[in-house]
């Protein structure tokens, strides 16, 4: 198999184009063992109703309904393959509009992607807690009284907590509860992505423990959900929100009309290299070989260096 290694905000994946296969979950787990830097496998296959279909497999083999950072990379791949600047990508829960955008810095390819649908209904995560149907900007009493949490599906399930700098600098509190919520617990039967958000002068900082992965440099749907929650909480105004993360920075557009929300995630879609992958067998392990390394990463690192001052105390 030929694979393209890509990243959005250092949320790193292997991308495979071809027909759907039954062994994608196993391949994702094997690739994670061969290259622990990756957060999953993106697959691009034909769609009967869109320009392409995307599937997302986490490193534990589970399939995610969406991935905003991965979608930007798929958007670039499909648009460049077709010679177009706008496309529609089929995902598990929705067909999403994507488009090429202006470079934020020299050599950094940028794409904007729709994040949809949005639901605050706990049944859509799912989350179960004392017969509640929604949970917005309220502390969870079993966690503590100091963190207002909001549960939202976009469509991946997210629990967003607004915290001070101390809990960003020491992620042990977040890790404790994320591990609990993604293990045997009475609240999230399918697990949940847990993000802690801290307001900055320039926007917000988001750190995410991703279901099926663990702590990531960035999670696209989490950053978008965090931007929405931050707007609703009055931390930032509706409109364009700069969202910083351990892997870089993205822009999230949050618009509200008649109780409905329109969300767009804009950020880098960077190619790292082309690989040849041979899956393992019963008698031998798999093989992963770099065939052609891209020269795009230095441009992204220069961009990160320019913005690093805004979040230095939180990293």
Quick one: 252 and 218 in the same domain? yes
pLDDT score recorded for residue 30: 95
Quick one: 288 and 252 in the same domain? no
> What percent of the chain has pLDDT above 70?
99
User: Which residues pair with residue 139 across a beta bridge?
Assistant: 148
14 in a structural domain:
yes
Taking only the tens place, the pLDDT of each residue in 9-27 is 999 999 999 999 999 999 9
Q: What mean pLDDT value characterizes the chain?
A: 95
Confidence bin at 120 (pLDDT 50/70/90) = very high
Is 156 assigned to a binding site? Answer: yes
Taking only the tens place, the pLDDT of each residue in 179-206 is 999 999 999 999 999 999 999 999 999 9
pLDDT for residue 315 is more than 70: no
Q: Per-residue pLDDT averaged across 41-66, rounded?
A: 97
Quick one: 108 and 208 in the same domain? no
Is 134 assigned to a binding site? Answer: no
- Report the 10 Å Cβ neighbour count for 290: 12
User: Which residues pair with residue 96 across a beta bridge?
Assistant: 89
Q: Is the pTM of this model over 0.75?
A: yes
Is 76 assigned to a binding site? Answer: no
Taking only the tens place, the pLDDT of each residue in 254-282 is 999 888 999 999 999 999 999 999 998 76
pLDDT for residue 283 is more than 80: no
102 in a structural domain:
yes
> What percent of the chain has pLDDT above 90?
92
The token pair that represents 120 in the structure block: 């605050």
Quick one: 59 and 95 in the same domain? yes
CA distance 312 to 315: 6
Is 58 assigned to a binding site? Answer: yes
**Number of structural domains the chain divides into:** 2
H or E element at residue 301: helix 297-307
Q: Closest by alpha carbon to 76, among 41, 38, 117, 44?
A: 44
pLDDT for residue 168 is more than 80: yes
CA distance 164 to 156: 25
315 in a structural domain:
no
pLDDT score recorded for residue 308: 85
Quick one: 171 and 194 in the same domain? yes
- Report the 10 Å Cβ neighbour count for 234: 9
Is 211 assigned to a binding site? Answer: yes
CA distance 42 to 61: 12
Quick one: 140 and 95 in the same domain? no
Quick one: 78 and 104 in the same domain? yes
pLDDT for residue 69 is more than 90: yes
Quick one: 135 and 222 in the same domain? yes
CA distance 75 to 98: 6
pLDDT score recorded for residue 285: 80
For the chain, what is the total number of helices (H) and then of strands (E)?
6, 19
Is 245 assigned to a binding site? Answer: no
pLDDT score recorded for residue 243: 97
- Report the 10 Å Cβ neighbour count for 133: 9
CA distance 163 to 199: 8
pLDDT score recorded for residue 94: 95
Task: Give the CATH number for residue 76.
Answer: 3.10.310.10
Quick one: 221 and 303 in the same domain? no
196 in a structural domain:
yes
Interior/surface letters 158-183, b for 16+ CB within 10 angstroms, e for the rest: bbbbbbeeebbeeeebbeebbeebbe
Quick one: 251 and 168 in the same domain? yes
Residues annotated as catalytic are 67, 219
Quick one: 109 and 127 in the same domain? no
CA distance 313 to 315: 6
17 in a structural domain:
yes
DSSP secondary-structure letter at 309?
G
Is 305 assigned to a binding site? Answer: no
Confidence bin at 57 (pLDDT 50/70/90) = very high
146 in a structural domain:
yes
Question: Where in the sequence is the domain holding 199, given as residue range(s)?
Answer: 122-266
Strand 40-45 relative to strand 11-17: parallel, antiparallel, unpaired?
Answer: parallel
Quick one: 259 and 144 in the same domain? yes
pLDDT score recorded for residue 282: 66
The token pair that represents 161 in the structure block: 């907590």
33 in a structural domain:
yes
């Amino acid at each position: 198999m030929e694979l393209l290694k890509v990243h959005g905000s250092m949320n790193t994946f292997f991308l495979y184009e071809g027909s759907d296969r039954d062994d994608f979950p196993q391949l994702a787990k094997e690739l994670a063992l061969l290259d622990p830097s990756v957060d999953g496998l993106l697959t691009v296959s034909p769609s009967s109703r869109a320009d392409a279909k995307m599937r997302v497999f986490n490193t534990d083999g589970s399939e995610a309904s969406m991935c905003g950072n991965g979608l930007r990379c798929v958007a670039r791949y499909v648009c460049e393959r077709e010679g177009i600047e706008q496309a529609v990508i089929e995902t598990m829960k929705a067909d999403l509009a994507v488009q090429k955008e202006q470079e934020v810095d020299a050599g950094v390819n940028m794409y904007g992607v729709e994040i949809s649908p949005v639901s605050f209904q706990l049944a859509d995560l799912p989350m179960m807690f004392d017969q509640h149907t929604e949970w917005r900007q309220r502390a969870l009493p079993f966690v503590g009284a100091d963190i207002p949490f909001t549960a939202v599906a976009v469509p991946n399930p997210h629990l967003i907590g607004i915290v001070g700098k101390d809990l960003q600098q020491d992620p042990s509190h977040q890790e404790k509860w994320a591990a609990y919520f993604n293990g045997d617990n009475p609240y999230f039967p399918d697990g949940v992505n847990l993000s802690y958000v801290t307001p900055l002068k320039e926007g917000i900082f988001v750190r995410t423990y991703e279901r099926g992965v663990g702590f990531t440099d960035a999670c696209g749907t989490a950053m978008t959900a965090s931007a929405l929650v931050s707007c609703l909480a009055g931390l930032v105004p509706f409109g364009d929100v700069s969202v910083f993360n351990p892997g870089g920075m993205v822009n999230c557009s949050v618009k509200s009309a008649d109780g409905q929300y329109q969300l767009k995630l804009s950020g880098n879609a960077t190619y790292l290299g082309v690989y040849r992958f041979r899956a393992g067998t019963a008698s031998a392990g798999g093989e992963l070989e770099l065939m052609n390394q891209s020269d795009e990463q230095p441009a992204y690192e220069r961009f990160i260096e320019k913005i690093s001052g805004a979040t230095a105390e939180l990293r």
